[in-house]
Amino acid sequence: MRILILTPRVPWPPLDGGRIAMARLATSLGKFAEVELLSLNPKKHRVDDANAIDIDTARLRFVPGTPMLVSRFVSQRFRSAIAEAMRRFQPDVVQLESPFLLPYLPDVRSARIVSLRSLNVEFRIWEGLARNEKNPLRRLLLRHVASSLRKYEIGHLNSVDALVPISRDDADDFRALGCTKPTHVAPCGVEVHASAPPQPNTVGFIGSLDFLPNQEAAQWILDELWPRVIAQMPDARLSIAGSNAPAWLAPRVLGRVADAQAFMSSMSVMIAPLFAGGGMRIKVLEAMALGKPVVATSLGKGGVDVDQLLVAEDADTFADAVVRLLRDPAFAQRLGEAARAEVAAKYDSDRIGNDVVRFYEELPTLEKH
């Protein structure tokens, strides 16, 4: 089987959750099929890759019937590269790694199967941000963005031949929204690693800080959570890591780290207080694969089917959970080791990749539109 994967950015280096999810599946698929990757290379996430197509997604483009957030990813050069790949590689399957690549659907229709691999129900993220927004004008803008994305995503649910969501919750959501196409859940796989002893009394959060739900989480950590932790443990230390922090947040965070695994390994506790979003919390999965104890909100552990972590929804209970782990390193270690064993059993990358290839192989030859 030949699989052409189209990605909205280059998956390497796998520094953030989206890149990790794309890179892991592409790598595991490559063990069971012939895989070729074609990527956009947005200016904001630019990497040195001669085969990727540069694009400036900050530049607005008007595409009739397409939300501005999606039309930013439309590129004639990418269309030409797709046409060349379709002629040369002749893929059986074209896998779109984001609803932001749905404008290229007409360019890949000659493949036997066109699938949408979705890391989120995108409009749900913006609905959550709108609910949490206190500024009335900004809330109105976020609602408009969510509404336009909702109409677009739902309108295209059945335009692809198959859907490959990253979590069971997302799969259920897509079905409830009207998806009738064959669906297969393909979570992000893990690579289990040993972890060095942590620095005492350290708490970490990591995530791309140009992603609005992560910005919201960082602000909540700084303004709501951390004063409560410090009141109980004055010697506790907080580190917030992530690339592309906005100007208002940058002075208060560590920023981008060269090695995300090393950063997480050095922490006593990892936290994920997310209040908007969907898909799968890749960094939670990564932290657990390192044997780190995790405290998260229900949305913060979203898409990760594990029990070995602490869940808290408000600042007081979240702070108490963090302090409990800091004060009892033996309990923290037991929780982290149990988490590592659980994710290793449930999220084996090769099994996930093999299951996706079998799903594609078993799909009937579909009448093309």
* DSSP state letters, 192-207: ----PPPPTTEEEEE-
Cα(77)–Cα(40) distance, rounded to whole angstroms?
Answer: 10
Domain co-membership, 170 together with 239? no
Alpha helix stretches (DSSP H) within 236-314 = 260-265, 282-289
* Domain presence at residue 369: no
Terminal Cα-to-Cα distance of the chain (whole angstroms): 22
The single-letter code of the amino acid at 38 is L
| Residue stretches of the chain with pLDDT short of 50 | 368-369
Predicted local distance difference test score (pLDDT) of residue 365: 64
Domain co-membership, 112 together with 151? yes
> What does the chain come to in residues?
369
Domain co-membership, 178 together with 266? no
Domain co-membership, 119 together with 176? yes
* Domain presence at residue 368: no
* Domain presence at residue 233: yes
* Domain presence at residue 194: no
What CATH number does the domain containing 141 carry? 3.40.50.2000
Apex 298 CA angle, 271 and 171, nearest 5: 120
Domain co-membership, 28 together with 157? yes
* Domain presence at residue 195: no
Domain co-membership, 100 together with 124? yes
Q: What is the pLDDT of residues 195-210, one digit of tens each?
A: 788 999 999 999 989 8
* Domain presence at residue 273: yes
Predicted local distance difference test score (pLDDT) of residue 192: 84
Look up the pTM and report it.
Answer: 0.85
Predicted local distance difference test score (pLDDT) of residue 153: 95
> H/E element holding 141?
helix 136-156
* Domain presence at residue 214: yes
DSSP 8-state secondary structure symbol assigned to residue 302: T
DSSP string of 340-352? HHHHHHH-BHHHH
* Domain presence at residue 197: no
Predicted local distance difference test score (pLDDT) of residue 367: 52
Predicted local distance difference test score (pLDDT) of residue 369: 44
**Closest listed residue to residue 56, CA positions, set 37, 77, 72:** 72
Q: What is the pLDDT of residues 212-244, one digit of tens each?
A: 999 999 999 999 999 999 999 999 999 999 988
Cα(290)–Cα(96) distance, rounded to whole angstroms?
Answer: 30
Strand partners, 294: 270
Predicted local distance difference test score (pLDDT) of residue 160: 97
Domain count, the chain: 2
Domain that holds residue 316: 202-346
Domain co-membership, 341 together with 353? no
Domain co-membership, 131 together with 256? no
Domain co-membership, 152 together with 269? no
How buried is residue 82: exposed, middle or buried, by Cβ count under 10 Å (0-12/13-18/19+)?
buried
Domain co-membership, 273 together with 156? no
Domain co-membership, 273 together with 172? no
Domain co-membership, 184 together with 215? no
